[in-house]
Amino acid sequence: MDLPQSPAELASRLDGVDYLADDGLATAAFLALRMGRPLFVEGEAGVGKTALAQALADALDAPLIRLQCYEGLDAAQALYDWDFPRQLLHLRAAEAVGVDDAERLEHELYDRRFLVARPLLQAVEASTAQRPAVLLVDEVDRADDEFEAFLLEVLGDFTVSIPEIGTIRAEHPPVVVVTSNRTREVHDALKRRCLYHWLDHPDFEREVAVIRRRIPGADQRLVSDVARAAQRLRRMDLVKPPGLAESIDWAAALATLGATGLDRDLAARTLGAAVKYREDQERVLAAVGDGGFT
């Protein structure tokens, strides 16, 4: 498939895989693709940061390679590792049949087939000019800051140096989406290499459109009721306001029950899909009592 030629074209392709991107997000993704720069996406939980990477992969018909960050993540888990048991097995087998060319044997031991590619190397290897891979570096703020420096090196030129094999260079830089929940400040050096995009909660019309797209079977009135309720919940000063992901879940739960609209009773029964703190639920139900969501 050809790569998109304009942000609008990319937006319509994302639309084709049920991800509705606005002007800003489409421009961001388009530039990430064109300039070969990682896209650094921040925003509240559940606004569609991870979904963006998935949708980009689908829209470009590219493989999605995901690196979930966590504390203690290191190069052996993110880049590559040697498959030691297989190497040992190979060595034993070679001994058994009596191979005595030690140098060749050693060379064989560090062959590509004994290398286990982890997400970063996978992305470098899988990305071609016709079909760049999409690499999702999820929740980079959870990794320790030493890891960032390492990531910076790989994202800088998309080459991986393996002492025993040599340098592996990406034929074409993969599209990289880096997400962060802002649990800590990410180094400026990493941000400087990236395009920065802040994803906000959607407005009402957009939320309706997204839910309708995700749950095609849901009643029209139900969808707009849920979107309106979610918009209101976000203004209610809750401990954890629902994101777009939660309102989709909520609408799905209500649609499963066969609801055609949102009333107090239905809301009380399904609120757990959208609001996940006891204190918040109590507040919401108290507020619904005197006036309802709409």
Partner 1 sequence: MSSALPALVGFARTLRAAGVPAGPARVHAWVEALGHLDADRTADVYWSGRLTLCASPEELAAFDSAFGAFFGDAPVRRVRRPVATVTLPVAVPADDVPTGEPGDGPDVSAVTATASRAEVLRHRDLAELSAAERAEISRLLAALRPSGPARRTRRRRRDHHGELDVGRTVRAMLRRGGEPARLHHRSRTSTPRRLVLLVDVSGSMAAYADGLLRFAHAACRRRRSTEVFTMGTRLTRISRELHGLDADAALIAASAAVPDWSGGTRLGEQLKAFLDRWGRRGIARGAVVVVASDGWERGDVSQLAEQMRRLRRLAHQVVWVSPHAGKDGFAPETAGLRAVLPSVDVLVAGHTLDTLEDLADLLCREDARA
Buried b (16+ CB within 10 A) or exposed e, 50-67: bbbbbbbbbbbebbbbbb
- Report how far residue 229's alpha carbon sits from residue 158's, in angstroms, rounded to the nearest whole number: 45
Length of the chain: 294
Residue 109 sits in the site that holds partner 1 (CB under 8 A): yes
Residue 24 sits in the site that holds partner 1 (CB under 8 A): yes
Q: How far is the CB of 29 from partner 1 (least distance, A)?
A: 10
Among residues 31, 56, 38, the alpha carbon closest in space to that of 148 is found at 38
For the chain, the maximum distance between any two Cα atoms, rounded to a whole number of angstroms, is 86
Q: Which is nearer to partner 1, 22 or 171 (CB)?
A: 22
Residue 23 sits in the site that holds partner 1 (CB under 8 A): yes
Residue 37 sits in the site that holds partner 1 (CB under 8 A): yes
Among residues 194, 73, 195, 200, the alpha carbon closest in space to that of 141 is found at 73
Residue 99 sits in the site that holds partner 1 (CB under 8 A): no
- Report how far residue 151's alpha carbon sits from residue 181's, in angstroms, rounded to the nearest whole number: 17
Among residues 154, 137, 145, 122, the alpha carbon closest in space to that of 71 is found at 145
28's enclosing H/E stretch is: helix 23-35
The DSSP annotation for 240-285 comes to S---HHHHHHHHHHHHHTT-SS--HHHHHHHGGGT---HHHHHHHH
Residue 144 sits in the site that holds partner 1 (CB under 8 A): yes
CA–chain centroid gap for 96, Å, is: 47
Residue 181 sits in the site that holds partner 1 (CB under 8 A): yes
* Binding segment toward partner 1, per CB under 8 A, in 23-31, 170-178, 210-218, 257-265: 23-31
Residue 196 sits in the site that holds partner 1 (CB under 8 A): yes
Residues 246-275 that bind partner 1 (CB under 8 A): none
Among residues 53, 32, 39, 63, the alpha carbon closest in space to that of 126 is found at 63
* Binding segment toward partner 1, per CB under 8 A, in 51-59, 67-75, 163-171, 267-275: 67-75
Q: How far is the CB of 35 from partner 1 (least distance, A)?
A: 6
Q: Which is nearer to partner 1, 78 or 218 (CB)?
A: 78
Q: Which is nearer to partner 1, 29 or 215 (CB)?
A: 29
Q: How far is the CB of 91 from partner 1 (least distance, A)?
A: 4
Angle among Cα 243, 248, 252 to the nearest 5 degrees reads 145
Q: What letter does residue 161 receive in the DSSP assignment? A: E
Rule CB under 8 A: choose which of 3, 4, 14, 30 binds partner 1.
30
Residue 188 sits in the site that holds partner 1 (CB under 8 A): yes
Report the chain's C-alpha Rg in angstroms: 24
Residue 84 sits in the site that holds partner 1 (CB under 8 A): yes
Q: Which is nearer to partner 1, 35 or 257 (CB)?
A: 35
Q: How far is the CB of 284 from partner 1 (least distance, A)?
A: 17
Q: How far is the CB of 84 from partner 1 (least distance, A)?
A: 4
Task: Using CB under 8 A, list all residues that contact partner 1.
Answer: 7, 23-24, 27-28, 30-31, 34-35, 37, 40, 42, 70-72, 74, 76, 81-82, 84-85, 87-88, 91-92, 95, 109, 141-142, 144-145, 181-185, 188, 191-192, 195-198, 200, 203, 239-240
